[in-house]
Amino acid sequence: MPEPRPSLLEYSPAELTELLGSLGHKAFRAAQLAEWIWKHRVTDFEAMSNLPPALRAELAARYTLRPLEPVDLRQSQGGSTTRKFLSRLQDGEHVESVIIPAAVGQGGAHSSRLTLCVSSQVGCAFGCRFCASGLLGLTRNLSASEILAQILAAEEIAGERVDNLVFMGMGEPLANIDNLLRALTLIMEPKALGIGARHITISTSGNVPGLRRLAAFGKPLRLAVSLHGASDEVRSRVMPVNRKWPLGELLPALREWNRTGKHMITLEYILIEGVNAELSQARELARIARDLRAKVNLIPYNRVEGLPWVRPSEAACRAFCRALVAERIPVTLRYEKGHDIDAACGQLRLRKTREPQG
Ligand code: SAH
Ligand code: SF4
């Protein structure tokens, strides 16, 4: 395997100026380089036609522009155009990302053309019992450039710009907070990707110290919290993270977020038969949602090969949803798009890891 090279996607336009300065080049060269990287989004140093050939060769010998390479692309069947791709990182690890086009006719304040679900880690240390990403534990954090490169790869696949981002792929973004904040800075930077904070959703299973740092970052990001249980007893059964940061710590941190954040929190709640889909949980969930002025997103469980959990019947899911509506909680019941391409993140990599490697 070739030696991994640092990626220039790691550098802000200002840092590129410093970098080229340290290599003995003038500042205007850095501005040219930044344009090639972020405006024209070239994948090859050779395409940087206004840079001297010696500088192009020097950069190509030391750096890469794409620290990952898509190796498997799947399109879901039955009319949905959700696509999922697996990328190989320079060290041979794999991550997955999901491209979700906006439904036709979708409008409203945060309408978008193309949403991308990105991964933040290879695997995950949190080990939620129902999740494919957690099954194999954590391999490593993604660097900021590996997070950014998923966006560039998706744009290359889709042939259009990504304008909405959700951190709901593999990994717990707040457990990789340093690289997450670095990536977010470049994602929001108008001279880099230029995606506004309001178009970015961070999903967390409730990493309280990470939440506090994200709040201190001070940007109007959207926050989704994977609750999946409305009492400590139910939540701890499927989410070991709840033993470390139980509801008694998580909920105050979310109230604090509400004081600094500008958006309604979304509580994600996967419905799993025999675990958390009792109507008594719906009433507890309503109490939490009301306290946090949050909306609730119900997701019938997406089966993972090798795990025992199943989704409740459609009637049971609807009854759970109605119980929240009766409590006047804003709620959506969403059957996941791309069910047939293992769209719940982590599943494609799991398959790849379990297959004999050729
Ligand atoms: N670690 C973060 C973000 C990645 S998981 C978090 O947990 O929030 C993104 C979402 O997918 C979470 O709400 C997670 O609970 C959910 N998820 C994981 N496995 C799933 C499955 N099999 N079916 C449906 N949703 C799943
Ligand atoms: Fe990690 Fe999120 Fe999966 Fe839990 S649900 S194991 S936190 S990726």
Instruction: Tell me the pLDDT tens digit for each residue of 174-202.
Output: 999 999 999 999 999 999 999 999 999 99
> For residue 2, what pLDDT is reported?
73
Q: How far is CA 113 from CA 38, 165, 206, in A?
A: 20, 11, 29
| pLDDT tens-digit series, residues 198-243 | 999 999 999 999 999 999 999 999 999 999 999 999 999 999 999 9
Q: Is the pLDDT of residue 346 over 80?
A: no
Atom of ligand 1 nearest to the CA of 172: 1
Average model confidence (pLDDT) across the chain: 90
Once rounded to an integer, what is the mean pLDDT over residues 24-35? 95
The number of residues making up the chain comes to 358
Which ligand is nearest to the Cα of residue 128, counting in written order? Answer: 2
Atom of ligand 1 nearest to the CA of 347: 22
Q: Is the pLDDT of residue 342 over 60?
A: no
For ligand 2, atom 8: residue with the closest CA: 171
The token pair at 34 is: 């930044």
The domains found in the chain, sorted by start residue, are 8-62 (1.10.150.530), 68-354 (3.20.20.70)
Atom of ligand 1 nearest to the CA of 336: 24
From 96, 146, 172, 268, active-site residue: 96
> For residue 39, what pLDDT is reported?
94
For ligand 1, atom 13: residue with the closest CA: 226
User: What separation in Å is there between the alpha carbon of 317 and the centre of ligand 2?
Assistant: 22
Q: What is the CB < 6 Å shell around ligand 2?
A: 124, 126-128, 131, 133-134, 171-172, 205, 226
Q: Is the pLDDT of residue 343 over 60?
A: no
Q: Is the pLDDT of residue 302 over 80?
A: yes
> For residue 108, what pLDDT is reported?
46
> For residue 357, what pLDDT is reported?
35
| pLDDT tens-digit series, residues 36-51 | 999 999 999 999 999 9
> For residue 105, what pLDDT is reported?
45
Q: What is the CB < 6 Å shell around ligand 1?
A: 130-131, 168, 172, 203-205, 226, 268, 270, 299, 301-302, 304, 344-345
Mutate to test the pocket of ligand 2, among 167, 176, 203, 226 (most ligand atoms within 8 A of CB): 226
Q: Is the pLDDT of residue 134 over 50?
A: yes
User: What separation in Å is there between the alpha carbon of 266 and the centre of ligand 1?
Assistant: 13
Once rounded to an integer, what is the mean pLDDT over residues 160-177? 96
Mutate to test the pocket of ligand 2, among 117, 128, 136, 180 (most ligand atoms within 8 A of CB): 128
- Which comes out higher in pLDDT, residue 161 or 136? 161
Pairing, β 200-204 against β 222-226: parallel
Assign 3-state DSSP to the chain and report helix, strand, coil percentages, each to 5: 40, 20, 40
Pairing, β 121-123 against β 222-226: unpaired
Widest CA span in the chain: 69
Question: Is 317 known to be catalytic?
Answer: no
> For residue 349, what pLDDT is reported?
57
Is residue 69 helix, strand or coil? strand
Question: Is 124 known to be catalytic?
Answer: no
Atom of ligand 1 nearest to the CA of 132: 19
Angle at 159 between CA 349 and CA 344, to 5 degrees: 25
> For residue 107, what pLDDT is reported?
45
> For residue 301, what pLDDT is reported?
93
For ligand 1, atom 23: residue with the closest CA: 302
Question: What angle do the packed helices 279-292 and 314-326 form, to 10 degrees?
Answer: 40
Mutate to test the pocket of ligand 1, among 311, 345, 347 (most ligand atoms within 8 A of CB): 345
> For residue 101, what pLDDT is reported?
87
